[in-house]
Structure 1
Amino acid sequence: MFPLGDDNSTRRSTPFVTYALIAINVLVFLQETQAGEAFIQQWAFTPARFGADPSGSLVTIFTAMFMHGSWMHLGGNMLYLWIFGDNVEDNFGHLKYLLFYLLAGIAATFAQYFISPGSNIPNLGASGAIAGVLGAYLLMFPNGKVNVLMRGGVVAVPAILVLGLWFALQLFSSVGSLATTQGEEQGGVAFMAHVGGFVAGFLMAFLFRGNSNDPRISA
């Protein structure tokens, strides 16, 4: 199931922060393509480097959230942020949503860090923070309709099914990644960051969400 959009009929505000986050991610990626590998090495989060010098690498916890490895990586992340971020921002409010997004990204980074603290492979991408957005969306709008592309065409599917299957896939894949040799240095998808971000986002949504009497919230 490939998501294409969701029901925004009850959205009450313009998602300025979501749009800004998308713009920043695109601009940073364009800078990456111009600056090359040196830019990635400087601003991506590298677990071993952070472990050796936490204060010197502290800024990379944030900068890595706005970096991507390819156009496909960027496009997929921004699509999910565009589909699900606006509704979460609408419920939280702009400033709380921005804080939530950054905290989810931090949680995702350290979830991945704790399973591979000695890795010299740069970690980068907005996936962990966006996973937090998905977790919040699942809590607040489990019955919201998400338009997904399937073999039979575009079908409206409850968010609990779409995001539940997404999380199950990330969890299954993260367990599989733990089975690799501890000393093995290889790139790929940071599935544990997705799991950590999603769980953090789901839990933080209990604190960040708006009025529980909002008819759109059906947790």
Structure 2
Amino acid sequence: MIPISDDNPTLRTPVVTYLLLGAILVTWFFVQGAGFDAYKLAESVCNLGMVPGELTGRAPLGFILKMGDGIGCGIDNETINRLTPLTSMFLHGGWMHLLGNCLFFWVFGNNVEDSMGRFRFLVFYLACGLAAAAAHVLVDPTSPVPTVGASGAISGVMGAYLVLYPRVRVNMLFIIFIFIQIIPVPAWAVLLWWFVVQVISGLPQLMTVEQVTGGVAVWAHVGGFVAGVVLIKLFQNPRYTAKRTSWRHRLHPDHP
């Protein structure tokens, strides 16, 4: 089940959405080597990714986390570590990770930006990303595993979309064996289903006292999503939202 578009036109060009997508892609190609150089990819993730145990000081200095054949990431106390909750938002661990995040942001980001204006949207996006990072550190404060990805911030955008446009139809691509179909689904169903899956996926992590976790940082997704739901009323511009709603109803009078 993959979102590919929505029935929600924008009034203005989503400049910040495009710029953030551009920054993510530039980082992927020029800082991370587009994933083609394993050492360069590992180096970027290790040095610029967020390591909860480095931020809290609860991971042992000098501990080496294996990241591949002959490649390890060491725990240190460099000054750059303080900036990694921000820098990690622009890094990714692979092509699927990158493309998945970009697709979700492409579908949901433009309308949320349209509801609040460009500068507010940039601040909102970064705030949700930092909230996601804080949630991940809170759940796993000793982890020596670097965390990267824009998904925490994008989760915040999705939470905002749920509040603003719950009944807008999102065109979902369903692929079940040989069955391929695009089906419009209400945004509330898509986003709540996604959120519930994240919470259920993260529950085993809460039940483990001592752990070294990897994979998907689902509690960062949960934290970002909740931040988006909470912050949207503070960041949205009522004038833009009212104008968008009126215009959308004129274009699609039969849509909710």
Once the two structures are TM-superposed, the CA of residue 149 in structure 1 deviates from its matched residue by 1.3
Q: Using structure 1 for the length normalisation, give the TM-score.
A: 0.92
CA distance in 2, matches of 1:107, 1:196: 6
Q: 2:245 aligns with which of 211, 216, 219?
A: 216
| Contact kept? 1:50, 1:56, Cα under 8 Å | no
Q: Which stretch of the first structure deviates more once superposed, 18-27 or 208-217?
A: 208-217
Change (3 A) 1:56 1:154: closer
Which residue matches 1:16?
15
| Contact kept? 1:104, 1:128, Cα under 8 Å | yes
CA distance in 1, matches of 2:160, 2:209: 32
Once the two structures are TM-superposed, the CA of residue 152 in structure 1 deviates from its matched residue by 5.8
SS of the counterpart of 2:238?
coil
Q: 1:190 aligns with which of 205, 217, 236?
A: 217
Q: 1:175 aligns with which of 184, 203, 216?
A: 203
SS of the counterpart of 1:216?
helix
Change (3 A) 1:55 1:206: farther
| Contact kept? 1:121, 1:187, Cα under 8 Å | yes
| Contact kept? 2:156, 2:227, Cα under 8 Å | yes
Which residue matches 1:118?
142
Runs of 4+ in 1 over 6 A off after TM superposition: none
1:106 partnered with 2:130: yes
| Contact kept? 1:140, 1:216, Cα under 8 Å | no
CA distance in 1, matches of 2:78, 2:129: 17
Give the gaps of 5 or more residues in structure 2: 58-76, 247-256
| Contact kept? 2:45, 2:93, Cα under 8 Å | no
Which residue matches 2:91?
67
Once the two structures are TM-superposed, the CA of residue 176 in structure 1 deviates from its matched residue by 2.5
Which residue matches 2:3?
3
Once the two structures are TM-superposed, the CA of residue 50 in structure 1 deviates from its matched residue by 1.1
Mapping of residues 23-38 of structure 1, within 5 Å: 23-30=22-29, 31-33=31-33, 35-38=40-43
> Any idea what the Cα deviations from partners look like across 1:159-191, whole Å, max 9, x if unmatched?
000111001101111112223x33221311101
CA distance in 2, matches of 1:113, 1:184: 13
| Contact kept? 1:141, 1:216, Cα under 8 Å | no
Give the gaps of 5 or more residues in structure 1: none
User: What letter corresponds to residue 216 of structure 1 in structure 2?
Assistant: T
Q: How many residues align?
A: 215
CA distance in 2, matches of 1:122, 1:64: 9
Which residue matches 1:203?
230
Provide the alpha-carbon RMSD of the alignment.
Answer: 1.8
Change (3 A) 1:23 1:56: closer
1:77 partnered with 2:101: yes
Q: Percent identity?
A: 40
Q: Which stretch of the first structure deviates more once superposed, 124-133 or 149-158?
A: 149-158
Q: Which stretch of the first structure deviates more once superposed, 38-47 or 151-160?
A: 151-160
CA distance in 2, matches of 1:20, 1:131: 18
CA distance in 1, matches of 2:160, 2:183: 23
